[in-house]
Chain A
């Protein structure tokens, strides 16, 4: 298998708070291959957004990346200067935010917010003057057209509040895709939308992915979305990856009790549109966690052996699980 596009090893991101150090991401490995769609699922607060904010270099104080390597196309992103990182963001990796309603700047026109991405990254444009402005305007209109916003030319002059929620989601996707990134991180692209628009937006992402040959990380609460759109899935729990593998296999034969719980709470085969129903109990406090399995207190199968630290184990080709009851230890 060729080297992955994105390869994250041992990522650890913490937030210093008054109550103590919150370990939001603790030893996460992620790899995303070229052209694939990787789904990330997990309860609220499991570290999905923080993991990819770390990849983007957007963890803000009081947060900081404490350990780990982040390779994009073999290039170590953590070793880049802020300026070099800015050249990667928006060009090689793009992101859409969890909440489309707050991600667009209310004081700037939509046109300007698309145009500035081209202005920052597109070196094929004329250097300056009206030719450059026109080229940028054409490309911006083309992007709006691509995400299915009609009469793009005139809508470029409008402000975000003049668009509906679904439209704003599309605009955000248009901005993210403007420079044809190699990797799109779509953080819950559908949560704020109603069901039909959800489907349209996901279709759009899948279609553009095929057209541009990019990789997509799809963060979601919706296992139905994962089943339909993702090649592989990664389940996160309390800052750790607890299970990972090809979507069909994970759904057919979940290995981790947590994943089984997630799936059991959904009536199959109608997976679609079902949010994750909470499993009994609470996600542990991420401050000063004991070394034991993080799911221990909620796990129906827990035993004394689970009180020792649990490493990732191999559960067949391309499958990993963090539970001593399945798989085999990797050397």
Chain B
């Protein structure tokens, strides 16, 4: 909401600097920035008159516009379609600082050659001048604007630009802001005096209004003015509308817009001669009804839409926009002026359903009070008579089925203190509320009031609302700062948070960079990453998305990591190690999805070739080692077994198994998948379901005493069939007494062993808890081990 300071001063004395007014409003709940229209920011902008408009010789959509600038004429290229000769416009010459209509940033205007025609200067839109966000067309100035004069002399103004929160529709009005300023600066408020003659015949004889659906329309007021003359509005009115970012249209529309800005009550003027039967009915639309609105668009309606209809057809979408069929035109002589109140939820539903947001709908959907309709109607009627002549019919229509008794709220000074942590005197509380227009009655209770809120406030319904009113006007700075002093709550540990932190830190220690990717992805990326169609489980789809890239919730982290790897390989040499720890989303029937925490890491193939490191190539065991070390940290020992993941290289992958739970996969990425992401080198990947892993990391551990007697080391080298696994050997050796630790230190295939065989070399550590072992004892066990290995696996000692 833009409020010109000059206009505000009509209702409240302002004897503080504008910046201080802006600060107080901001602190009290409505952010205000000061805009200075004109002055320095419009240096170089002058008023011009369009002399001629021609089509650009090389571009049908562009125009060559010749502008009279008082002493000279200039021809510039212009893209706007709404210009005709005789229009007064704002002209910026080269060197002027303007706001770029597309980027919104300030830029110095330079000469430009557009399709072969040089353009020195520019005809400005409202956005380029910083008046409004409208960049649709050129700003057309009132005809009185004198060509050649600086625009600032004609339009300069200080404007308060308010960011009004959804609970304060009363601040979408100049009087509302004046009330707030009056309370915040301790100044009295002056409201416009409304008085006009009603020489016409009684309105009830000419118009009838029926509210068919009172649940959506609590009140409908209307006045009728006959014999008006449509014309342009006077200069002061146009300038005010412009300063507020609205375009002047004609005296009737301008008057209704002006009163909406002044009072916050939207009004609508119908051409009464086009209202069939002089009958207005406020009802829900029927299924097949449609209407062409003032913006020339045809709108299909449904039975949830509230409309204004005459005896034959829909003439307006209630509270959103009027219809073209009853629009005020140059030939209009009678105005039926509507000032009504509509159900906020209904207006919100309609305006969003039709994607039609208007100044009216913004106010109605924020809930304004029905009491406001009557004063605003009278004020607008007076203004129309003033601007367009005519005679008001006697009286007004006022159908008010939704009239309610004033709500009374109890306010205890103790409650103010309980919520704010500071004690204000009952006098201070009362005076503050009265300054905002509340009524405060003392009750029999001590330090207690019964409060009635003023008719312009729709946001006050409970005691806490009143506490906020008191606090924000006195100022939040008056509330002290204390630390929580209540007793510390019990806590139930959530181990996942700590576990995630630990996993991330360990991986960073291994040289992996953490990335965070979007949870939103496309079906295509998931299919590519998992090499799997159809996807199982199917990913969850969103019903509204900005782009197809973000239509689904991810069921795997692989897509993000592979995309990230491909992106980085374009500018990185050598090894890249990335990981992401985040959720995937798995659908469940009739419930929210499951959101397990997943960990995925990738390594690209090669350590950087740079002195002094030797290039190292990765293989299955590099990535398996990462997983083993990672799991060793929380004390989990994992098994690995052959797996069959379609995204991974067949035969170079393994499932990660902990206590029979399959928790993930590790190995080399399927080269087809890498290729689909434009990666040409081998990629190693691991993926672990942390939600499943977590329970295995928790549990009681028993301390194991440190051995008091020395260990005896023995090295054995075995020759076995190539198919015999390390795990098989390990299982056998582990089963013998005194074996404390087994370390594999060499795996060999080649010339020195027979074909189809391999050599495995182990260092076995023997130890006793009771005594120092003798060679004899160790020899005996070692022989038993070798016998059993020979028996079960055909292992022989390597010569």
A and B assemble together? no
